[in-house]
Amino acid sequence: MIGTKAFPVVFALAVSLPALAGFEEGLTAYQRGDLKTAVREFSEAAEKKDARALYMLGDMHREGTGVATDYTRAVVYFRQAADMGFPPAALELSRAYLFGHGIEKNAGEALRLITFAAEQGLADAQWELAKGYLSGALGQKDGQLAMRWMRKAAQSGHAVAQHGLAAQLTAGKLVEKDPAEALAWLKRSAQAGYPKAAFDLGLAFAEGFGVPRDQEEGAQWVRSAAAAGLAEAQAHLGWMLLTGTGVKKNIQESGALLRQAAEKDDLRAQYYLAWILLNEKAAKNPGDGIQWLRKAADRGDPQAQSDLGNYYHEGRYVPRDLRAAHDWLRKGAEQDNTSAMYGLAVLLHGRAVGANDRREAARWFRKAADKGDLDAQMHLGRQFRDGDGVPKDAAEAFAWMHVAALNAKSADDRTEWRKERDAVGAVLSAADKARASARANQYAKKFVPPK
C-alpha cells in the first residue's frame, strides 16, 4: 500500500491530468480506509483512462489492499498507466520486470522503464537507477552513470540519495573525495528527516569527523535518529547514556533504549542490555540478562561469548560448567577478543579440560599479552620464570613483568608486580641482564603509552 507520505510524490506528477470523475472520490475513500468504495471509484476513473487511477489499482492488486493479491493483474494496470507516460507506473513496472513479479524477468526492459521515469524527474526512479548501475542489477554496471543519477536524485530532494552521495564523496572511489560537500549533503539528508543521516551526522559531531567536535550537537542528532526508531541509533544512544559519553548518565533511559534496539535484533544493543541487567544494581535482572547475553553470544558477538564463558567458569549467574566455559571462551578468542583469550588461557592453565593445557595456555596468554592485556603479560612472565608451558627464560620473564608493572592500573598491582620483576632481575647473569634490558625496552616502546 502507498503510505500517506508517498501521495504527494505520486500525484504531484499528475497535476497536468484532468480531474476525471471517480479518482478524487476514490482517493478520499482510500485515505479513510473505505477500500471497497476506493476500488469502485478508481475502476470508474480507470475506464476513462485516468493514469493515477490505473496506478492505484495496480498498487492495490500488488499489495492485496481491498482486493486479492494478483501480481499479474497489477502489471496490467501499471503497464496501461506507464504507456500513458505516468512515471510512477513506469517505475513500478520496472520493478516487476526486475523481480519477476507477475511477469517474466527482463533486466533490459526494467532498465528502459526506470530510465524513462528517472528522465521525467521522479526522484525515487533516479535513486533506484543509481543503485542499479552500482550493483549491475539492471544488466549494466557503470559507476559514472550511477553517480550521475545519484546526484540528480539528491538534487531532487531524495533524502536517501543525499545520504548515499555524502557517503560516496567521503569514500572518494567513484567521485573525487570532497569532505566539505559530503558534509553539506549529509546535513541536508538529516534535516530532511532521514534517520541514518541524522545518526551519521551525530557520530561526525561526536568524533570531530569533518566538523569541529561537538558532543552535545552530536548527541542531539543521535537522539533524533533514535526517536525515529533507528535501531543502531537507539543502541548507540543507550551506550552513551550507560557510559555518560556526551550526555548525562541515565541507566533507566539507557536500558529502555537498548531494549527497544535489542528487540529489533541489534547485536550491540543485546550485549549492552545484558550488561546492564547483570551489573547495574538499579536494573539488575540476572535471568533476563543471561538470556540476552546468550542471544548475543549465539549470534557471534565475541565479547558476549567471552563474558558467558567466564560466567560458566565462575559459576556466576549460571551453573558452573567448565566445558561450556571452554567452548564459549574459545569462540570469542578465535574472533580475536582479548578478554576471551585471557579467560581461555586461565581455564587451560588450570588443567580443567585437558592434559596438555599449559602449553596451550601459554599460547593464548601470549596472544592476549601481545594485544596489551596486563594480566596476561604478568602471567606470561611467570610462565617464562618457571618454565611453565614454555622454555624457562628469566630474561623474557623480566621483560614481560616489567611492561606489566609499568602499566599496572592499581597501586597494589604495581607494588606486587615490581617485587616479582625485581626478584627475577636479582638472579640474572650479566648476559641475561643485557638481554632482559633490551627486550624490556622493546616491549615498553610497544605497550607503554607516552606521557
The sign of the torsion formed by the CA atoms of 326, 328, 333, 338 equals: negative
Do residues 198 and 221 make contact, with C-beta atoms less than 8 angstroms apart?
yes
A 10 A CB-CB count for 189 gives 27
Question: How many residues are there in the chain?
Answer: 451
Give the mean model confidence (pLDDT) for residues 35-53: 96
Query: So what's the pLDDT on residue 305?
Result: 98
Give the pLDDT mean for 334-354. Answer: 90
Integer Cα distance of 26 and 3 in angstroms:
15
For the stretch 200-206, contacts whose Cβ atoms lie closer than 8 Å and that sit 24 or more positions apart, written own/partner, are: 200/163, 200/166, 202/233, 202/236, 203/236, 206/245, 206/246
| pLDDT value of position 282 | 83
Mind listing the pLDDT tens digit for each residue in 200-235? 999 999 999 889 999 999 999 999 999 999 999 999
Q: For 202, how many CA atoms within 13 A lie in the half-sphere containing its CB? A: 26
Residue 17 has pLDDT above 80, yes or no: no
pLDDT score of 15:
45
**Residue 353 pLDDT class (50, 70, 90 cuts):** low
Q: How far is CA 413 from the centre of its chain?
A: 38
pLDDT single digits (tens) 111-142: 999 999 999 999 999 999 999 999 999 999 99
- pLDDT band, residue 76 (cuts 50/70/90): very high
CB 297 within 8 Å of CB 274: no
Place of cell 596489551: 372
Average pLDDT of the chain is 93
d(CA 402, CA 439): 10
Residue 448: which pLDDT band, with cuts at 50, 70 and 90?
confident
Closest CA to 1 of 58, 65, 90: 65
445/121 Cα distance (integer angstroms): 60
In the CATH scheme, what architecture does the domain 193-284 have?
A: Alpha Horseshoe (1.25)
User: 274, 298 in Cβ contact below 8 A?
Assistant: no
- Using a pLDDT cut of 70, give the percent of the chain over it: 94
pLDDT level of residue 159 (50, 70, 90 thresholds): very high
- Check: CB of residue 197 under 8 Å from CB of residue 189: yes
Domain ranges of the chain: 193-284, 372-451
Instruction: Convert the pLDDT of each residue in 296-320 to its tens digit.
Output: 999 999 999 999 999 999 999 999 9
HSE toward the beta carbon, residue 222, CA cutoff 13 A: 26
pTM: 0.85
What CA–CA distance (Å, rounded) separates 201 from 350?
49
Say what the pLDDT of residue 16 is.
Answer: 43
Distance between CA atoms of residues 311 and 360, nearest Å: 21
Query: pLDDT digits over 357-412, tens only?
Result: 889 999 999 999 999 999 999 999 999 999 999 999 999 999 999 999 999 999 99
